[in-house]
Structure 1
Amino acid sequence: MTSPGRVNRGPRAAADNRAALIAAARKVFASSGFDAPLSSIARTAGVGQGVLYRHFPSRDAIALAVFDENIAEVEALAADPETRVDTVLEVIVEQITASAAFVAMLRPTGSEPRLLAVAERFDALIAKKLADPAQRGDLDSALDAADVVLAVAMLANVLSESDPSARGEIAQRAWHLLRHGLAPR
């Protein structure tokens, strides 16, 4: 039985529910951190917990979906050979600022192999951008992908520990400092 005002659309709603859950997870993780109750995600998406667990049986599974969407956006941007790595990194910083949960995904430590695979996609796209001098932008030629990923992870850690209302300003200041540190000497 559905609650008043809600119409059960059945299986036709699956794609919409999944998209709503991913958007809600991004929002809840950003405001409450990666350990936020999954019930908050379901409530924010406007679905029951059963729907959440039908789509995402674990916290790692929904985090993976959020991370995968973020990486897909970055990969689409990075696919353009005219896009320099610093532009790609700026989008990543924007994503981190909006979603503190993305931070934990940069260096996953859990047992979810799919999470590790997406993290490897991130590493590979940074390495590919750095390998082309035209796409490398203003980054020091001595830096490799591991250095850049470490710098982004450091920024991500700072943002994950900061007050959500101050994240935008902190991200701008920290990114300015990091870009300065990544520039050629």
Structure 2
Amino acid sequence: MTQHAGSETRRPASGGRNAAARNRAALIAAAREIYAEHGLDAPLSAIARRAGVGQGVLYRHFPDREAIATAVLEENVRQVEHAAEADGADLPKVLGVVTWHLMESAAFIGVLHADGRTSSAPPPYTVALSLRVARALHRHLPADHPLAAEADDLMVAVGMVSGVVTGPTREHRGRRAEAAWRLLGVEVGPVLPFEE
């Protein structure tokens, strides 16, 4: 049997670590879009196509459906935390970021309802993510704010808004979110993702 020179050596991935990081970020962004359009049961192949990579690349970064869903949720929470830490951050601005994620990610809504007090125990990672969002929001909650009366009031309000953020289009979901915050008497800043 003839062996070709170099056949035993691994070819370096084009772009190295930079390409791997770009591919991972593209997969997370694509998963967020696909999940928003088709739900968490969407085919993983659709995520790979949207990201512009092969399925092998997807599985190299995320071995299963839960891994990529977790990565999307982690990215959502990280953006909320960064919004809370940004210069000039206040409760309305951070609530605007939270509301954007509610409108874009049904899975994020599930995380915010995972406070560990329901009859069926949520996965531990979702409880941890929910607590991180609560800490980010409470960091900017003034003591005299209407949602500061009880320790859980702010997250209950977020949960109430998440329950009405439904509808076929982003515009419809946005109108419902704005109406819910208005009815709760809570000021919310621009409903946008956090840009670093």
**TM-score range normalised by the length of the shorter chain:** 0.7 to 0.9
Considering fraction of residues, name the structure with more helix.
Answer: 1
2 CA distance for matches of 1:163 and 1:14? 34
Any stretches of 5+ residues in structure 1 without a counterpart?
1-7
Q: CA deviation at 1:81?
A: 7.7
Residue in 1 that maps onto 2:31: 25
Task: Check conservation: 1:105, 1:119, Cα contact below 8 A.
Answer: yes
Task: Check conservation: 1:78, 1:125, Cα contact below 8 A.
Answer: yes
1:118 alignment partner AA: L
Match of 2:129 among 82, 95, 118: 118
After the TM superposition, which residues 1-185 of structure 1 pair with which residues of structure 2 at under 5 Å, given as runs? 9=14, 11-12=16-17, 13-80=19-86, 82-108=88-114, 110-111=122-123, 113-130=124-141, 132-133=142-143, 138-144=145-151, 146-159=152-165, 161-165=166-170, 166-179=172-185
1:121 alignment partner AA: R
1:48 alignment partner AA: G
Q: Which moved more, 1:31-40 or 1:76-85?
A: 76-85
Report the TM-score, using the length of structure 1 for normalisation.
Answer: 0.75
**Aligned partner of residue 139 in structure 2, secondary structure:** helix
| CA shift in 2, pair 1:72/1:21, >3 Å | same
2 CA distance for matches of 1:70 and 1:122? 9
Root-mean-square deviation (Å): 2.6
Once the two structures are aligned, what percentage of the paired residues are identical?
44
Choose 1 or 2 for highest CA Rg.
Answer: 2
Give aligned pairs, total.
167
Q: CA deviation at 1:28?
A: 0.9
1 CA distance for matches of 2:47 and 2:96? 27
1 CA distance for matches of 2:175 and 2:23? 33
2 CA distance for matches of 1:147 and 1:36? 34
**Aligned partner of residue 72 in structure 2, secondary structure:** helix
Task: Check conservation: 1:74, 1:88, Cα contact below 8 A.
Answer: yes
2:100 alignment partner AA: E
Residue in 2 that maps onto 1:4: none
Q: CA deviation at 1:93?
A: 0.6
Deviations 1:10-46 (A, max 9, x none): 7442111100001001111111122322222112111
1:117 alignment partner AA: A
**Aligned partner of residue 34 in structure 1, secondary structure:** coil
| CA shift in 2, pair 1:14/1:36, >3 Å | same
Task: Check conservation: 1:106, 1:153, Cα contact below 8 A.
Answer: yes
Report the TM-score, using the length of structure 2 for normalisation.
Answer: 0.71
1 CA distance for matches of 2:185 and 2:72? 26
1 CA distance for matches of 2:159 and 2:131? 14
Deviations 1:140-168 (A, max 9, x none): 44132x22212212222322x42134222
Task: Check conservation: 1:86, 1:139, Cα contact below 8 A.
Answer: no
1:152 alignment partner AA: V
